[in-house]
Structure 1
Amino acid sequence: MQSWHAAYAIARDTPAPLPAEPTPTAGAVGRVAAAPARARSAVPAFDTAAMDGYAIAGPGPWTLSGRILAGPAAGGPALAAGTAVEIATGAVVPAGAEAVLPYECAHRRGQTVTGAVGPRDHIRRAGADVPAGDLVVPAGRVVTATGAAAALQAGVEQLWTVRPPSVTLLVTGDEVVTAGPPGPGQVRDVFTGLVEAVGSRAGGHVRDARHVPDRPDRLRTCLDAATTDVVVVTGASSAGAADHLHTVLGTRDATWHVCGVACRPGHPQGLATLPDGRWVVSLPGNPYAGLVAALTLLEPLLRALAGRPAELLRMPVTGTARLVPDGVRIAPARHDGTILPGTGSGSLHVAASADVLVVLPSAWTSGAEADVLVVP
């Protein structure tokens, strides 16, 4: 049985990021850039008017010679001294223009414009924001919507990004129902939503989720059929009569990296790889214990595969908790580090009111710092 910190580190540090693939920039949001991207065109790409008004050349008064609106047309012939054109924000400034005189600073009478030019010329010069060739998306950064928009503005239509890890979820148990309120002897599937949330936050996505009865042949069939990078199995991971995962993985020559964790709740969790490279994450069937395991093993694993860093937060924690000799207690807490009392491995009620789960070693005392897992 691994210590909790060792198990978390194995899930975080063992996998390599998945291969990179070309991705349309607009569709790269949420992915990690696998290679730097540089501006293909300057921003702005041309001298452009920053205000509505008049592009002017030389000292005034100025004689109007036309109008330029924003659009693909060029800025027209060069302005001679003493002339001006009416111009819209975003339009190409013609050659020879020294400034844009905003409407509010100008006076027009017929075809003559007068006014005082201030300290600013109200012209955004080509490349003033981003010169062509400048770095716009560094490698290793999660592409945000704003970052993608900025890259598109600089002419970058494609990024190389780490392929997001795909997940198959197998929810085991004859007692589990996937829809409607549970009847006598039944429990509602709560893992599908939790795993989807953790997966999405870590940069992965659940491609398939299905219920599997407590039969080793059905579990083996579903495991063999899964074509995703990661297979998450809920339940079936302990030593009971209906727990078949260890036996099934043994028939498939799986390698265990984590087989049990010294924590409460959530100790019968595990992480394994199949010979074909697929990862298997085992979550206990009790809902709160399963949540703990998802944050301990599944989230750092998916973040590593997606190319995202996974670093634990720390904060002072206050309150009381039943500590675990030679292990850690994982307790729900508020954002200020105050422990919430009264939770068991089978209930999500207290965890649903929490902001974080705190990882409390056996020597922890109230007020001391502890590692923190953010509740999805």
Structure 2
Amino acid sequence: MNKINSYSTGLVAGLAVFFGLMVGAIIMLISGFNPVTGYISLLQSALGSSLNIGEVLRAMTPLILTAAGFLVAQAAGFFNIGLSGQVWVGWIASTWFVLANQGMNPWILIPVAVIIGALGGAVMGYIPGWLRAQFGASEVITTIMLNYIALYGGNAIVQGLPNKLMATTDMTKTLGNSDSLRWDFLSNLTGGSRLNIGFIIAVVALLAIWFIMKRTTLGFEIRAVGLNPNAARYAGMSAKRNAITAMTISGTLAGLAGATEGLGTYLNIFSQSAAPQVGYDGMAVALLASGSFLGIIFAAFLFSVLSVGGLGMPLATGVPTELVSVVTASIIFFIGANYLIRLILVKLDEDDSKDKDKKKKKAIKANQKEAK
């Protein structure tokens, strides 16, 4: 068992990505497409121009924030499936505030709106944390239920906004660049992409969370509770308080992701048929990062390249965009089956050791014969 767990998470994650890409390649071959040209077109569509690179960075923004939120909850021993609902609440709260206060000075309006979005997500994270701490309710069940409450409640709020804020019955008016997170410098730098200040916010938030989790007493207590609640309680740490804190921080980051989506990417609110996908994608990014905050950057980059590059694959090679979802799902599958990957690595090591032992024995016998 120790030998199985001895392999680095980076190696296992890398193999999971490789196996996921191989599954995609096999499906392309079965479907009559050339996997080499398919993946080349994907990379060209994602990284072939400054515009596309800007879109990749823009797509990374909510993934970094939701993945960091998931890791905080995971460190405390919780599985926060409510990220999508928390994103949606943060999106609505921040964008609604800006739409309703467009006469306010933008230097005050936007920071306040971002904070309101983060607080909206924090409330949605606090609720399942409190229910878990007080009643032992499973955060998996409560966050799934809250996703639906956020989705349909949010849609009802959007459709019930004053007519002066609405463009249609299901969509609000669009914000101007001055009332958003858009920055002409970033957009012009990346060929007119939607890259915005939200990316900077995400990187700063990731660094702040890394510092809190790795360098502060609060982070130590959250991790201690996640590793062994009984031992942490014996040491004087409050498992209930840290459970609530971890889920609240997780929700705050997801709400911040929602604010960047509403104020940076879409510049409005519109009714959703399902909870925002970035919440679920953020979970996948966190799983691929394998508990590493630095790994979040690389995992978010990979998923963003797949999502942005996948849009150009049908035009270049005819490969359907759904194949990108298959590749992504395969990567997640192999991350979930990391024990199997580690087992394979152990088997390969054992076979290699046996081969080396055989070669040594042959060499010893040969030397003994020469000596005689």
Normalised by the length of structure 1, the TM-score is: 0.23
Larger radius of gyration: 1
Higher strand share goes to which structure? 1
Normalised by the length of structure 2, the TM-score is: 0.24
Higher helix share goes to which structure? 2
By relative contact order (CA 8 Å, sep 6+), the higher-ranking structure is 2
